[in-house]
Structure 1
Amino acid sequence: MPPVSAAREILRRLHEVMASRSGAEAKLGRVVRIVAEALSSEVASIYLLREGKLELFATQGLAQEAVHVTRLAMGQGLVGVIAARREPLNLAEAQAHPDFAYRPETGEERFHSFAGVPIVRREAAIGVLAVQHAQPREYQEIEIEALQTVAMALSELIHGAGLVDDAEAAAARTASSAPARLAGLKLVDGLARGLAVFHQPRVVIEHTVADDPETERNRVRAGFGKLREAIDGMMGQAEFAGGGDHQDVLETYKMFAYDEGWLRRINEAIETGLTAEAAIDRVQAKTRARMRSIEDPYLRERLTDLDDLANRLLRIVAGQLGTAAQQGLQTEMILIARNLGPAELLEYDRRWLKGVVLEEGSLTSHVTIVARAMGVPMLGRVPELFAQVADGDELIVDAANGALLIRPQAAMIKSYTEMSAAKAKRAERYALLRDAPAVTRDGKRVQIMMNAGLADDAAALDATGADGIGLFRTEFQFLVSATLPRRERQQALYTAVLDAAGPRPVIFRTIDIGGDKTVPYLNGGEDDENPAMGWRALRLALGRSGLMKVQARALLQAAAGRTLNVMFPMVSEPWEFAEARALVEAQAELLGRAGHALPAQVRYGAMIEVPAIIETLDELLPMTDFVSVGTNDLTQFLFAADRANPRLADRYDWLSPAILRVLRRIIRAAAAAGKPATVCGEMGGRPLEALALLALGVEQLSITPAGVGPIKAMVRSIDLGAVSAAMHGWLDAPGTDIRAALGAMAAAQGAELS
């Protein structure tokens, strides 16, 4: 009988077996006879995973005395290798294979050829279906496919009969799977451990044998229609326009979605007797097998696209379109996704979300910016992610070293546990300092503020003991929105933040969109060859005055009766600040005339990030109430080093004389003008670098919430006067290695720099 007809005939007869009232063991006995007859095979056997071993459960052709007697461990013998690797074996001479394990009780010594496929459920092997012949021969590919089709149906029968426990199978898979390490790009620094959870959960196929092939074909056709409609819709959206990697991916998706060959192959699988879901999965499994044998990176990437699209089609047909976030999972998880949007990330409960790993992702993507604000370690550009990681695998994300550890060994887990314990002890020590003032040993009070950008961030004020919010990034609300946030939504957010802060100050930075933070509904800078220095921040806001007017009204009304601190980003020339301040004042006047309550006081600040503004501080400072130095952008502009480029990450030093002299100049100018100067940015969150800033005269830092405790501990452990005197001496005497000198002095004082 031809293999395609054999598969159809086997499934038809399996359907009858599954519907019969006989016991499970009798059913499997009938199955092996059906398989042997349909494939003209001398042997057909089923092994099931029971109590951690693969037990011969039914056979046609081997000695019946071996049933329930022959048992193999995962990875032992040909059957064990198939189960452990979850891949077929096709051998003309089985005994020549290095993993062949002879079991005399089976009487299999007279059989030469061997073919076997795993029986899989929930990505775990629960058994093996094997056939054997006395004559040496390799089985045809179509015969192997017929066995795989039968194995899918067997999975349903075995599960329904309760012959194998899903939890036991998953545990066996984890135990037998070797640890692996994948390299990726550090997007957000940190170390995390948890169980793999797929953002788009993989569909568990419960029914494999179809009653009516025409019904299944109609379901697939409808699924393709919805898939094509979704892709056409995405291609028409502004956020996917204008070229780039995402556009290339969508073009590939469209090509596959309209590929009649793919639809034909799925329908051919349905013709063998499979349901729509099982047919899609059967074709997808064949694609994955091809992926493993292809070396060309471009072709592998295209087949990966097809694999991802097949998952989407499977979810559509199965009606399982939700994400893992909607399942209310309460386990420490590492989220796995091809890519993510910032709003999707915010759907997850921060108590359980420990890390994120993306197959794509970039340093400048919106989701990276939000993850950094959330303090969630993130790794991106991880190839083979979906092929290597299974749902529920234990993972360690070591973002600092760009590594994902899959199913880590005991030594790795011990190392992680020790580091986590040390971190927890430090956190306990910092928690004891929450209500203590940040005062140096020689009596200098330092204001330690925190950066924020999300509504929930304000809760960290009480948890950390920060003196206020020194930088609230208002653009985050724009980044996570599909459309421009209306004034009412903006006002509600600002009101909630001010309410949570209470008497503590909040400094709102006006929208800093553009550069690495583009949004689909605000076009204008997407074609900049160097977006970091392009149409962004205050330039964009002044160019779109309507946008800034709406935000100004939202801020003014939210702060009614309170002090409003508003700060403008990336001021390049004094006239820009003057124009922005005049715009806010004009909105205040309009609101006042309309009878709206206004802030008791409005304080205006400028961010010092562009080197050009330093040359005109004498003009700028009299217009301001305060200034804040953004060390991230200022440093990249000073050194002409793109901070989003990992190859340049270590090419400049925050403790080099160049940056420290520029900072000293800004701080001295602000002090002479009687205007407070804050430093916000990563530099202020690193203890040794923060010590340098304090030595230059900085009295206020704004840093991530996680940095408040360590910086407060450092402040309370130093004699600032001595460090300040030394710092100015080093800057005035060229040739000093300031990092080494400052580190040595801090150590001599017993400063806490962990």
Structure 2
Amino acid sequence: MTGQPVTSSGVAAARQILTSLHDVMASRSAAQAKLNTVVEVIGEGLDSEVCSIYLLREGMLELFATRGLAQEAVHVTRLGVGEGLVGTIADGNETLNLAEAAAHPDFSYRPETGEEKFHSFAGVPIVRRERAVGVLCVQHVDPRRYEDVEIEALQTVAMVLSELISNAELIDGDEQFGLTPAQTGPELLRGLTLVKGLAIGAAVYHQPRVNIEHVVAEDTEAERQRLIMAFEKMRDQIDRMASQAEFGVGGEHEEVLATYKMFAYDEGWIRRINEAIDSGLTAEAAIERVQQRTRMRMRQIDDPLLADRMHDLEDLSNRLLRIVSGQIGTAATMGLRRDTILIARNLGPAELLEYDRRRLKGVVLEEGSLTSHVVIVARAMGVPVLGRVRGLRTAVREGDELLLDSDQGMVTARPAPAMVEAFEARFAKSRERQAAYAKLREVEPFSRDGTRIQVMINAGLRDDVTNLSLTGADGIGLFRTEFQFLVSAALPARERQTRLYRDVMDAAGSKPVVFRTVDIGGDKMLPYLRHDDGEVEENPAMGWRALRIALEREGLLKAQARALLEAAAGRTLNVMFPMVSEPWEFDAAKDVFDGQLAFLKSQKKVLPEEIRFGAMLEVPAIAEQLDILAPKLSFLSIGTNDLTQFLFAADRSNPKLAERYDWLSPGILRFLRRIVAGLSGSEVDLGVCGEMGGRQLEALALIGLGIHRLSITPASVGPIKELVRRVDVNEIGEAMNGWLSSPPADMRATLTEWANEREILTE
């Protein structure tokens, strides 16, 4: 897992370059002159015709120095993060090694550089405190991939450049990375609510790292001795942990500890660090260099067990870094050891999934958006998230107590005792309600007049299925298959998809699971699945997404269809197509499944016992063609989130519009009533899957419209069950008909008053 050792030629190449760079850095030349010399040194050392350095300045990646490209392009050519090959490297903190640069989907040609004659391209990020602050790249006329030893040398040199450019203040202000001496009193910070909820916990910075100030070693042997002593101290710590009674025998802690010991005593790891020291790095830089390599390799591994160990490996490397640098005591030891509010600039969905869900109580981000992938996963996990919190790193220290109120869009650091008491009172009341709802787990949701309302849950992770038994839900009304795509570095293999779908159905047992085919694109664009022409959509929510992508990239839908059919062998398969706009789209998607079904039949494979096909009604146009579509459907699910934004022409990711349009507006309620009427007398099972169905007052309105199947977040199951038990379906149905025939001035207030008079809870 620690990778193959670096060859002696790789060490020699890096050392030769570093030796020259050491002299460059020690000179009294201006920063620009140093960079001009650096590109020449690297280009000659790697026998590369082009060597260029791009640095992050004013939010853009600016060409600062080059050997081989047009000198007129220096300080002229600028790329956004994520734009072109250079921007892609900076955006993903990744390495690229291409024999033919122009063939890469993110390639962006800049004529002023004169780079059209160069075919091969390799680039590595220049990282400062976990963030790419620049890119070092080389190019060659001949189409060829650079050797691993050359890439290793580039990555090592990039660490040295990080120190050089930071000291020379060539990049965007470094103060955003550091923490100034924090205040001792309470501080209220405001942000954007990404996932609602309350949480109390200690501030823990995501993958806290030692700031490596010195990269190039003065005395290689002295650095080696520092490393040996640090390893001995770290191993002593790990051995002491193993003897602590709190870990007990067997179970998760023992597995984590075994992983720790395996890496703590791994000779391959220490050998690679020593080789990095041989190349001219300090002990700290060598540890970080090897960890960068390991991290990149681990990201390419699909095995979920190995992915789950990423946090452990990061922590172990951090521990060694802190020991060797003398900064012992603040690194995380065995993952999250207490209730935690995670602090980060930004997070990816896979990174969030690495955390212990029992300890992770909330997330606060400096950046983040309503449509980011991590928010989608956090919502499924039930973890509150607050984003766009400015000044976070200068206001919050590691270990500070935090009160996260994502409902109100704020977080309080170092609260006063009275503030904690008031917050805990609110929290306790919320927990009391949850405890009362938990008692309804085995209670079937019948209304007062005996109408059975189906209450199902939305899911997207394998672990989410446990919520079926925890809540007593009737099944999974929406399983978002795209989560597996969001946390993968490449398109998930069919076998991997099959394994997930089979595991989910096994865990659900006799309860139904509705699998929505992959809904990517729009607000869930994947780096490995972009427009062929590289176009950036101005309005992605109404663009190339969901079923539109699946039908155009038919291989994607074929693989998913085969995976679902194989996983459902011998049982009922429920398949739902997202964002159907025209009946022919449903037909085309079903044809893909029929084709894969015929193939499996020809191969004598065990087939599903029954296949039920359904669609999501999110696009208003399909409501006008229900008479055509309905005879082909087993079920129809109304996706209220997208439907609302399309009906009101209001982007739900825009904070200014998020609360502007009410789900209880007569406009949307009348629209929903028309859908119910259009399916009256048909055998189509109609339901709602979306946030609207999980809110008590809105659910009351839906039941009154005649919608008796709701698929909602697991946390909403208890409240909705409680609501159903207090409602007379006929009574609310008559009331809704009256209100929608002659709408009151405030439908929400009218419905609330009606519910209060009947002692129906509608929080």
| Both proteins in one fold, TM over 0.5 | yes
- Residue in structure 2 matching 1:664, options 660, 666, 673: 673
Percent identical residues: 60
Equivalent residues in 2 for 1:132-211, closer than 5 Å: 177-203=184-210
User: Which residue is equivalent to 1:223?
Assistant: 285
| Equivalent residue, structure 1, for 2:236 | none
CA distance in 2, matches of 1:639, 1:730: 21
- Partner residue in 2 for 1:370: 377
Matches within 5 A, 1:369-408: 369-408=376-415
In the TM superposition, what is the alpha-carbon distance from 1:314 to its structure 2 partner?
7.5
Question: Is 2:621 the partner of 1:612?
Answer: yes
Closer, same or farther: CA 432–313 of 1 in aligned 2, 3 Å: closer
Structure 1 partner of 2:662: 653
Match of 2:589 in 1: 580
- In 1, Cα distance between the equivalents of 2:186 and 2:195? 24
Against the structure 1 CA distance between its residues 721 and 526, is the aligned structure 2 distance closer, same or farther, given a 3 Å change threshold? farther
Kindly report which structure 2 residues correspond to 1:21-40, keeping only aligned pairs within 5 A, or say none: none
**Matched residue, 2:729:** 720
Contact 2:212-2:285 within 8 A present in 1 as well: no
Change (3 A) 1:223 1:627: same
Change in 2 beyond 3 A, CA 1:316/1:473: farther
CA–CA separation in structure 2 for the residues paired with 1:316 and 1:622:
68
- The equivalent position to 1:543 in structure 2, one of 552, 563, 574, is 552
CA distance in 2, matches of 1:723, 1:572: 32
Aligned partners of 1:324, 1:634: CA distance in 2, in Å? 46
The 1:439/1:368 distance shift into structure 2, 3 A limit, reads: same
Change (3 A) 1:412 1:562: same
**For residues 203 and 703 of structure 2, what CA distance do their matches in structure 1 show?**
43
**Alignment partners' CA distance in 2, 1:523 and 1:644:** 21
CA distance in 2, matches of 1:325, 1:623: 55
Give yes or no for contact 1:568–1:580 (8 Å, CA) kept in 2. yes
Deviation at 1:427, TM superposition (A): 1.2
- Counterparts of 1:23-102 in structure 2, within 5 Å, are none
d(CA) in 2 for partners of 1:325, 1:548: 42
With normalisation by structure 1, the TM-score equals 0.63
Q: For the residues of structure 1 that align with 2:332 and 2:319, how far apart are their CA atoms?
A: 17
Matched, 1:635 2:644: yes
After superposition, residues 343-354 of structure 1 pair within 5 angstroms as: 343-354=350-361
Across the aligned residues of Structure 1 and Structure 2, the Cα RMSD in angstroms comes to: 3.2
Cα distance between partner residues in 1 of 2:213 and 2:587: 66
Give the SS at the match of 1:616: helix
Decide whether the 8 Å contact of 1:566 with 1:602 is kept in 2: yes
- From 694, 702, 709, the equivalent of 2:703 is 694
Q: Distance in 2 between matches of 1:713 and 1:647?
A: 33
Match of 1:357 in 2: 364
Distance 1:681 1:313 in 2: 46
Equivalent residue number for residue 435 of structure 2: 428
**Residues 1:224 and 1:637: Cα distance change in structure 2 (over 3 Å):** farther
Question: Which residue of structure 2 aligns with residue 469 of structure 1?
Answer: 476
In the alignment, what sits opposite 2:7?
none
Which structure has the greater CA radius of gyration?
1
Structure 2 gaps, min length 5: 1-180, 224-276, 301-317
Structure 2 residue aligned with 1:747: 756
Q: 1:526 to 1:495 in 2, by over 3 A?
A: farther
The residue aligned with 2:605 is 596
> Residue deviations 1:260-290, cap 9 Å, x none?
xxxxxxxxxxxxxxxxxxxxxxxxxxxxxxx
**CA apart distance, 1:402:** 1.7
Query: Does the aligned pair in 2 maintain the 1:719–1:749 contact within 8 Å?
Result: no
Normalised by the length of structure 2, the TM-score is 0.62
**Shift in Å, 1:692:** 0.2
Secondary structure of 2:498 counterpart: helix
- For residue 494 of structure 2, what is the aligned residue in structure 1? 487
The letter for the 2-side match of 1:372 is: R
Unaligned runs of 5+ in 1: 1-172, 239-310
Paired residue for 2:232?
none
How far apart, in 1, do the equivalents of 2:379 and 2:291 lie? 34
Matched, 1:527 2:527: no
Distance (whole Å) between structure 1 residues aligned to residue 380 and residue 323 of structure 2: 33
Aligned counterparts of 1:727 and 1:201: Cα–Cα separation in 2 = 54
The one-letter code sitting in structure 1 at the alignment partner of 2:541 is A
The one of 341, 345, 359 equivalent to 1:338 is 345
- Report if the CA contact (8 A) 1:730-1:736 is conserved: no
- CA distance in structure 2 between the partners assigned to 1:577 and 1:532 by the alignment: 19
The structural deviation recorded for 1:592 is 0.9
Aligned partner letter, 1:709: G
Aligned partners of 1:679, 1:177: CA distance in 2, in Å? 48
The alpha-carbon distance between structure 1 residues 569 and 313, as it changes in their structure 2 partners (threshold 3 A), is: farther
CA distance in 1, matches of 2:494, 2:452: 38
Distance 1:750 1:588, change over 3 A: same
AA partner of residue 373 (structure 2): H
CA-to-aligned-CA distance 1:533-560 (integer Å, 9 cap, x gap):
0000000000000000000000001110
Give the drift of 1:739. Answer: 1.3
Residue identity in the other structure for 1:396: L
CA distance in 2, matches of 1:556, 1:575: 22
Secondary structure of 1:519 counterpart: coil
Distance 1:648 1:213, change over 3 A: same
Does the aligned pair in 2 maintain the 1:564–1:601 contact within 8 Å?
Answer: yes
User: 2:631: which partner in 1?
Assistant: 622
Q: Deviations over 1:360-414 (max 9, x none)?
A: 2111111111111111011111122122211111011111222111011112111
